[in-house]
Structure 1
Amino acid sequence: MKERRTRSAVPGLYDAPVTQGLEDELAALAPELKSVAELDPHHGSVALARVLHECLVRALASVSGEDKSAAQLTLANRVLALLQEHAAAGIVGARDLLAPPARRLRAVLEPVAPPAHPASPEHPTIPLSISDLLVNGPHDVSLGPEVRRELLSADRVDLLCSFLKFSGLRLVQDELRSLCARKAHDARGRARVRVLTTAYMMATERRALDELTAMGADVRVSYDTTRTRLHAKAWLFHRATGFSTGFVGSSNLSSAAMLDGLEWNVRLAAADNAALLEKFGATFEQYWEDTDTFHPYVPEQFDEAVGRARRAELAPYLFLDIEPRPHQREILDDLASERARGHRRNLVVAATGTGKTIVAALDYKRLRVELPNDRLLFVAHRREILEQSRRIFRVALRDGSFGETLVGGDRPDRWKHVFASVQSLHTDQLDAIPRDAFDVLVVDEFHHAAAQTYERLLAHFQPSVLLGLTATPERADGRSVLDHFDGRVASELRLWKALDDGLLSPFQYFGVGGAPDVSAVAWSRGRYDPRALGNVYTADHLFARRVVQEVVRRVRDVQAMRALGFCVDVAHAELMARVFTEAGIRSSAVSAATEAHERAARLNELRAGDLRCIFSVDLFNEGVDLPDVDTVLFLRPTESATVFLQQLGRGLRRNDRKECLTVLDFIGDAHRRFRFDLRFRAVVGGTRRSVQREIERGFPSLPAGCVIQLDQQAQRAVLDNIRHQVGSGVKDLVEDLRALTASGAHIDLATFLREAEVDLEDLYANGRTWTALQRAAGLGLPARGPDDDQIERAFSRILHIDDEFRLRGFRELVRAHEPPAADATSGLQRLLFMLLGYVREPFSSMATAWRALWQSPLREELRQLLEVLEDRSRRVTSPLPRELTALPLRVHATYSLDEVLAGFDERNSKGGVKRIQTGVYRCERAGTDLLFVTLEK
């Protein structure tokens, strides 16, 4: 094996033992260009050990053979034997030798009385013997979940932290409580959990300190509120096994610090940083014994020290950066892509607070260049929205006089750029305005468009471009607004993307088991029978009282919260309001039957803090801006993922007073057709199987700042439900299809996906196809074609296509009545041939493949599938450089390696697509180097 080269001695500072390789390099340097000292006998053993460690790692990794582990163990034992021979007696002995076969001890468990079985605590994600850096990034381990895992196996914990907040404590309180419950103190009389904190800046919350002491923790506080004596933030997890660990970094015990992506924390392991952990422990003991600075926590003393002072609230400050943020640029690109396809009526769906008006202004700025005329009508339902929107347009266009208002007593003079309230565009006013008076029509809060006034407005005007803006495309009354856009959403900012970008308030979601069992409640057309469901919930008064207990447990201060609770029916809402009010939490119930002025009054009371909770029935799903809401209670199984997101969204609006949104979802056994996966997929994305993995692993992939915790009972109910659906997916899909076609209506692929709320990837999982599903549902179809098995397997490999040019070309090919003339020089035909599974076949057999496809009902499925892919594609692509424009490939589109080679017409000796296994390939025909890079493994 080639010897590893020694690192060159470049100019700079060093602290390294001189190896022979380094000695050779130093010999070539003049004496004044090097500084070499004797190795310090005190620290020399550690420095030399580092050299040995590096060499040992390289040597063990280089061992080869059939049983690599055994060979590595043999080599390690030879080194240990050599050390035993030369070290002082007893320093390295026979007990240090590794016992074959090569193994690693994971745990030693305490015996338990039968019939119980000993269970090993969950290991931390980072191995106990390794140090690491946590940055709370989207693909990194977050501190909060990792602290929870560390606590499960700790014998004792010391926490040094400037600020303690209940929002951070509740992320780990179950694990801390469990640790304290094992035994209050260790053999030396120390509490299992010790906490040092400060009252500096009054940031530490009394609720957090009360909870800690109630569970048995020993808490000491520095009451110096004028200056901070404690900046450190650190955890030390003591383990009797010697595998103690710790975190030292920037995170206080708060929700944001434990979860957000702007905190750095070093994880230390005693196994490779014993001296640092020992210093940590000794310093903590020094602080603990400093009774002049840290005093045992006494609630009255804490209240007196903090007093009535409150930090001044920050006044709202709007900073408008008219350069689009990344998510806004994506929306603008989506709109450009849709219009390039001829779609001039487009709907943008994005959460409140994500800058939809900025998008509209920048979109209009671009349209002014493209359209022959730039007459604009911007419609909203309140003066405040109109005036704010006009200011944004003026900044975007750099025109301080842009736009006139038509609202109240304001009337335009020029009628060229008008910001109008929908109320001002009444029938008489509309009749006086020509139908083609405006080139661009922008309608804010488009979910109101199914209302009569909006319907008249949209029916009257005939603009060149229509742009709708909304946070919620479905109205509570079930009337759709998508008809104005051919059933399409041009661009949708997904919840997890908005959370990742910090556009919405982070949330802490707690799934609480023990809700009423509704597994036997009647189910029809995708939902529970409302009356039967209501009867179950209104009959269970014990559950209503348990909701109160969980709210008191999870919410920092119930007398300061502003909560919305979503109920089954009016009786259920009234029951919950009565139980909460009796418990001292003033609450009210509202529904569609409540007078509008009464609903408005209750909302104002909630905003002002006179009410603590409003329980509603199918209200506040949309169209209500409630940034003060800091708690959401799901008190019923919500069948629709859209409604779930709308209700969750009521609390996601950012507010200076809100650290995070608290979500309590009360979960019980559900009907087998109920889909728990939909609500979690709305947050984390993915498929049913990936959601199942997220739940089993504790949701490691959440947006920064967010956490989902399911208690044991809730997790069991959710996982049982999802596992059932994963295992019986075909049966449920068949039932859905039969129900949708029961009236004799024809259902195509796009309609089925939309109505059954099925993802394309789920339908085509495990080799399933739309045609096979129709056959299973008993729908008459033609006989199978000769190559159907191969083509069916290929469909799942088509789902990634996002190139509009290719999708349109494929669709034109397959919609023809007769198979095309085989043409191996056609890039589109080569790509389609290869995608349909003919990867190993020569292009000369293309004619046979086309005949087989035209004899199969799968050709119609392929046509529908291509339409669905084209409809969901938002990728903006462009042609390759001039010399390569003839190729059927586009810049920024997604291709497999085989597709790229087929596009470049690279063939093997048999005339089929060439297969390569290298990241660099020279295409001589096109004079091009192809570079394939794995960006993320």
Structure 2
Amino acid sequence: MTIPNSLDPGLYELLVTAGLGNVLDGTEASGLTTVTADVDSEDVAHVLTQHIASAVSNALQSTPRDGQIELANRILNSLPPAELETAVSPGPRLLTSVTAAQDTAAPRPSTPLSDVALFTNSRLDPQLGSELRLEMASTDQIDLLCAFVQWSGIRVLEDALRAAADRGAKIRVLTTTYIGATDRKALDYFVRALNAEVRVNYDAQSTHLHAKAWMFHRKSGYTTAYVGSSNMSRAALVDGLEWNVRLSRNATPSLLDKFESTFDTYWDDSAFAPYDPDRDADYLDALLAKNSGRTGAGTFDFSQLDVRPYPHQSEMLDGLEAERSIHDRHRNLLVAATGTGKTVIAALDYKRLKSSPTDQPSLLFIAHRKEILEQALRTYRDVLKDGSFGELFVGGLKPTRGRHVFASVQSIARPGELLKWGKEHFNVVVIDEFHHAEATTYRRVVDHFEPRELLGLTATPERADGVDVAAAFFEGRVASELRLWDALGADLLVPFHYFGIADGVDLRSVRFSRGRYDLSQLDKVYTGNDARAAKVLASVHDKVTDPTQMRALGFCISVDHAHYMAQVFNDAGLPALALSGESRSDERREGLEKLRRGELTCLFAVDLFNEGLDIPMVDTVLMLRPTQSATIFLQQLGRGLRRADNKAVLTVLDFVGLQNEQFRFDIKYRALTGLSRNKLERNVRTGFPFLPPGSQIVFDRVAQDIVLTNIRKQLKLTTRDLVVDVRQHKAPDIAVRDYSVGTYLREAERSLADIYAPSARTFEGQKRAASWSSLVDWAFPAERGTASSEDDEILMRRVGALTHVDDPDRLRAYRDLLTAPELPHGIEENLYAAMLFFSFWPTGTQGIRAGLEDLRTRPRFVSEVVDLLTYREQISRTLPRALDGHLAATPLRSHAQFSREELLAGLGLGTLDTGTPGTIREGVKWLPSLQTDAFLVTLKKSEADYSPTTLYRDYAVNQDYFHWESQSTTSANSATGRRYATHVAGGSSVVLFVRRAKTGDLGTEPYTCLGTAKFESATGSRPLQIVWKLDRAMPVDLFLEAKAAA
């Protein structure tokens, strides 16, 4: 790019050069401010390539034609190594094809293979259909992704498609049943006439695929692709007003990488099912008819189809398994929003509990309505593929066999009925809507039965009366909880548009203690505040399409506040009603019915609809009271996230005022988004660019300033603030010596990063390592123990390196190494000992035995580490598994997390092999003693939020296959490349470790061990693009981050 003589105000991405430096000096002198930033290390090559290409292009264009080749060769010969093969031959000439002796070259597309283009079906553009036919003439593989495929589009391309198929080109097609627009005849033609592979996403409700794209793979490397608006129909391909961009491997390699990786991820996603006309034609016809509104959808029986869990449901099932197998807990609570498939999870969980097809544990499923029981029974039958499974016990229906009973709580809890069933009659008891469990009838059932497994299902563990059923029945523990982000990403809930609106209210003087405002003082601030009420009304008219048609819930601070807001809305012509716990049950039912019928636009409530109430028609939520409780915030939001007909989005208006300095916005926004505090601050500032599809979070300028200031305060949380917080959250009945880090983190809704993220803290002139014991000493000086030495403090600063430890074997081993009466013989060869040792001395400044003995003599240090490991054990949901083959004797476990030092020590570096973990920086390591290649992969290589040139090097194709890029020097024919490809035959192993990013809230991010893998395929050279088949499927949460597609 030419360096400008002057710079206008605006955004730039100019590499600073000597010439630009002079311009910057002049710009600063003229009163403008310039900002420069270091190029991320992962992007340097790309940025320099762009700069050099521009400079070379300018130089060549200004050089006479007869001197251009000479200049080009001078430039090429200056590169290391200066290989003669790169020199340009006289002409210059282009190689355009290579064919067998008897063949002629295929016709070429109108657009050069190395160029990009935009096709708009204008008079000057070639027709898209014509250009696609020319692309097909030379392709080796065709990939088509299209929302719908029609026979009229096949007709336009039929000859070219058939010629490509006859030539041996592989054809893959991904499509959907969206709006029933696909023609089955077209898919049948692809499969039968072209021998193509076709996969169909049959879920038209939750998958709205609008993409239209082609990729034409060429073994020559000149792959091209088309992305745009054209479905496979005649109008789209010939004369429609369509826009399509043509991409090429040469001009846009990173976009082709993304296309290929995303297509492969879709292809291997279980949501896209292989289509076989002989097997699936009737099913496809039925769904196409149903989704298009045509008749005929009711002729197909859907009950015998496989029920497979969504990724988020698999993760919840794994959470339940961890509670049972790792923690030996058999009374478990599952929390997920209404409409996200809790009953399906319960049925899949029951299927897992079956030890064999003939051994079906006895089951009692309890709900409070007949229609819920009927639906649950259908779900279990579908999951088990057993149309005779289960019996209803509701109304006049009674079970005869009594092995698998779906009962209403009213029926089974009747006086005299419950005693007919033995306490251990049912092996598995599932209770739907478990937040009702404190009710007399539910409590009677829960207290009576003693099953092997009790599973509670609820959307809201906190009831309106303040009872927390997790605390009352499950020792305060939720076994598995569906994150809102995952449900939105899976399209199980309606998207939301959240607006943070400044209301002009100043709450800085309102009393605030233990995370809550004084309700009576808040009531005085809000009730009767006409200016704020006017702001609420104005915002409703501004943000809601038609307020007279909305169905809203408004969450208020008190009964008086609810009545006041209802009066304000009624006076403004928006019919509203106030309800509270004081309202009679018939009044509440009538109020909801009026809202459903559209006779009311808003119900104002006081803690009434926080709990699980199924009101899917709610399309607007008004948050009229401040809360930093993540639970309450998500419950209120969740009241409107249920899908309903003609409901495209939930509108959320959250009114934000100036808050008490102890109030924390980060808690609820982190719960909403799943972001770390650092990322949260950046997202608030930049407008949340990476939300689930369809959702938006928007702050007005004043609200954004309030939230940003508050979050930045939490990012820079002072030691004094933290010490006060630690003191305030200690319950009176807990002794200081028993006050654990886990207790504090749960009570204060904080994370380990708050304790260990900085390496040191200073309080009242005393500088100490950032640790729990330091905070307790400062918070309770009268209870302070023995002073720590300087060496203690140095070691304490490394305790944060253990905050990720999550597998039970390692947790026990580390505790034993620190607390056992003495270290065992042979400790120098104990790999657990090596892992713990190198965590504190990465470069191994002393022997393993001497180092561990040093740690064991420091009681404050040992107490700190044991407390941390106990907390990690309590919250762990990891299901680790020992590795096989050469790695069977190592302490490494698949799905567990390890620091770089731990995993390298666990592979024998520093014991079995020479070297120390702290000196290894590469992402690949060959371990001779174990005959193992270890790959350390960072998914997000650049520190930037989005870096398209680096994102698609390493990614999960699906849960079983991982795409990995080798080091840039590795070729297919090198000794290393051959070892990778033939490792099974050669008797060596491969193990993968993957982390999301280089750094996180606690500093350097740990790696998750994916376990061993086997070579599947490879393409390219220097670097190699290798697909590895994992011996164990990836953990779901990491897969959701590692996969290339949404």
Q: TM-score, normalised by structure 1?
A: 0.66
> Within 2, Cα distance between the matches of 1:523 and 1:863?
34
> Within 2, Cα distance between the matches of 1:879 and 1:742?
41
Structure 2 letter corresponding to 1:409: G
Deviation at 1:466, TM superposition (A): 1.2
> Within 1, Cα distance between the matches of 2:315 and 2:857?
39
2:335 maps to 1:349: yes
Which residue matches 1:324?
Answer: 309
Which residue matches 2:687?
Answer: 698
Deviation at 1:315, TM superposition (A): 14
Which residue matches 1:469?
Answer: 457
Structure 1 letter corresponding to 2:434: F
2:892 maps to 1:900: no
Which residue matches 2:257?
Answer: none
Q: 1:385 aligns with which of 361, 372, 393?
A: 372
Q: Kindly indicate whether the alpha-carbon contact (under 8 Å) linking 1:785 and 1:853 is maintained by their aligned counterparts in 2.
A: no
Tell me the secondary structure at the aligned position of residue 361 of structure 1: helix
Matches within 5 A, 1:490-889: 490-741=479-730, 743-746=732-735, 747-767=739-759, 768-778=770-780, 779-784=783-788, 787-816=791-820, 823-835=827-839, 837-842=840-845, 844-889=847-892
Greater percentage in strand: 2
Which residue matches 1:488?
Answer: 477
> Within 1, Cα distance between the matches of 2:732 and 2:243?
59
Can you list the C-alpha shifts for 1:74-119, whole angstroms capped at 9, x where unaligned? Answer: 97876576479999xxxxxxxxxxxxxxxxxxxxxxxxxxxxxxxx
> Within 1, Cα distance between the matches of 2:374 and 2:595?
27
Tell me the secondary structure at the aligned position of residue 564 of structure 2: helix
Q: 1:400 aligns with which of 387, 396, 407?
A: 387
> Within 1, Cα distance between the matches of 2:639 and 2:731?
37
Identity of aligned residues (%): 46
CA-based RMSD: 3.7
Q: Kindly indicate whether the alpha-carbon contact (under 8 Å) linking 1:880 and 1:889 is maintained by their aligned counterparts in 2.
A: yes
Matches within 5 A, 1:909-924: 912-913=916-917, 915-924=919-928
Q: Kindly indicate whether the alpha-carbon contact (under 8 Å) linking 2:347 and 2:383 is maintained by their aligned counterparts in 1.
A: yes
> Within 2, Cα distance between the matches of 1:385 and 1:679?
32
Distance 1:933 1:639, change over 3 A: closer
2:350 maps to 1:369: no
Unmatched tracts of structure 1, length 5 or more? 1-56, 64-68, 88-129, 134-200, 202-230, 234-247, 252-262, 274-310
Structure 1 letter corresponding to 2:598: G
Structure 2 letter corresponding to 1:359: I
Q: Kindly indicate whether the alpha-carbon contact (under 8 Å) linking 2:373 and 2:406 is maintained by their aligned counterparts in 1.
A: yes
Deviation at 1:639, TM superposition (A): 2.9
Deviation at 1:316, TM superposition (A): 13
> Within 2, Cα distance between the matches of 1:633 and 1:460?
42
Matches within 5 A, 1:90-489: 322-341=307-326, 342-369=328-355, 374-424=361-411, 425-483=413-471, 484-489=473-478
Which residue matches 1:195?
Answer: none
Distance 1:555 1:675, change over 3 A: same
Tell me the secondary structure at the aligned position of residue 861 of structure 1: helix
Structure 1 letter corresponding to 2:622: L
Tell me the secondary structure at the aligned position of residue 655 of structure 1: coil
Distance 1:920 1:540, change over 3 A: same
Deviation at 1:413, TM superposition (A): 1.8
Can you list the C-alpha shifts for 1:403-424, whole angstroms capped at 9, x where unaligned? Answer: 1222233222222111122222
Distance 1:582 1:826, change over 3 A: same
Distance 1:856 1:701, change over 3 A: farther
Deviation at 1:527, TM superposition (A): 0.6
Q: Kindly indicate whether the alpha-carbon contact (under 8 Å) linking 2:549 and 2:601 is maintained by their aligned counterparts in 1.
A: yes
Structure 2 letter corresponding to 1:452: T
Q: Kindly indicate whether the alpha-carbon contact (under 8 Å) linking 1:684 and 1:701 is maintained by their aligned counterparts in 2.
A: no
Q: Kindly indicate whether the alpha-carbon contact (under 8 Å) linking 2:828 and 2:848 is maintained by their aligned counterparts in 1.
A: no
Q: Kindly indicate whether the alpha-carbon contact (under 8 Å) linking 1:630 and 1:660 is maintained by their aligned counterparts in 2.
A: yes
Q: Kindly indicate whether the alpha-carbon contact (under 8 Å) linking 1:898 and 1:915 is maintained by their aligned counterparts in 2.
A: no
Tell me the secondary structure at the aligned position of residue 661 of structure 2: coil
Tell me the secondary structure at the aligned position of residue 505 of structure 2: coil
Q: Kindly indicate whether the alpha-carbon contact (under 8 Å) linking 2:528 and 2:564 is maintained by their aligned counterparts in 1.
A: no
Distance 1:515 1:378, change over 3 A: farther
Matches within 5 A, 1:36-51: none
Distance 1:753 1:452, change over 3 A: farther
Distance 1:313 1:612, change over 3 A: farther
> Within 1, Cα distance between the matches of 2:244 and 2:799?
46
Unmatched tracts of structure 2, length 5 or more? 1-43, 69-114, 119-178, 180-209, 213-226, 231-241, 253-291, 760-769, 942-1046
Deviation at 1:395, TM superposition (A): 1.5
Deviation at 1:809, TM superposition (A): 2.6
Tell me the secondary structure at the aligned position of residue 513 of structure 1: strand
> Within 2, Cα distance between the matches of 1:313 and 1:543?
50
Which residue matches 1:156?
Answer: none
> Within 1, Cα distance between the matches of 2:909 and 2:243?
48
> Within 1, Cα distance between the matches of 2:482 and 2:846?
42
> Within 2, Cα distance between the matches of 1:643 and 1:636?
11
Tell me the secondary structure at the aligned position of residue 836 of structure 2: helix
Tell me the secondary structure at the aligned position of residue 663 of structure 1: strand
Distance 1:654 1:758, change over 3 A: same
Can you list the C-alpha shifts for 1:29-52, whole angstroms capped at 9, x where unaligned? Answer: xxxxxxxxxxxxxxxxxxxxxxxx
> Within 1, Cα distance between the matches of 2:381 and 2:874?
34
Structure 1 letter corresponding to 2:810: R
> Within 2, Cα distance between the matches of 1:79 and 1:571?
78
Aligned length: 673
Can you list the C-alpha shifts for 1:743-764, whole angstroms capped at 9, x where unaligned? Answer: 2513212111111111223332
> Within 2, Cα distance between the matches of 1:321 and 1:933?
35
Distance 1:640 1:918, change over 3 A: closer
Can you list the C-alpha shifts for 1:674-712, whole angstroms capped at 9, x where unaligned? Answer: 111122111211232321111011111222211101000
> Within 1, Cα distance between the matches of 2:498 and 2:904?
47
Tell me the secondary structure at the aligned position of residue 447 of structure 2: helix
> Within 2, Cα distance between the matches of 1:553 and 1:709?
14
Distance 1:670 1:828, change over 3 A: same
Distance 1:313 1:556, change over 3 A: farther
Deviates more, 1:482-491 or 1:881-890: 482-491
Distance 1:762 1:914, change over 3 A: closer
Distance 1:426 1:758, change over 3 A: farther
> Within 1, Cα distance between the matches of 2:245 and 2:597?
43
Matches within 5 A, 1:19-98: 61=48, 82=63
Distance 1:265 1:82, change over 3 A: closer
Distance 1:411 1:840, change over 3 A: same
Q: Kindly indicate whether the alpha-carbon contact (under 8 Å) linking 2:836 and 2:902 is maintained by their aligned counterparts in 1.
A: no
Tell me the secondary structure at the aligned position of residue 722 of structure 1: helix
Q: TM-score, normalised by structure 2?
A: 0.60
Structure 1 letter corresponding to 2:496: F
> Within 1, Cα distance between the matches of 2:752 and 2:370?
42
Structure 1 letter corresponding to 2:806: D
Tell me the secondary structure at the aligned position of residue 418 of structure 1: strand
Can you list the C-alpha shifts for 1:347-377, whole angstroms capped at 9, x where unaligned? Answer: 2111111111111111111212179771111
> Within 1, Cα distance between the matches of 2:792 and 2:588?
59
Structure 2 letter corresponding to 1:803: D
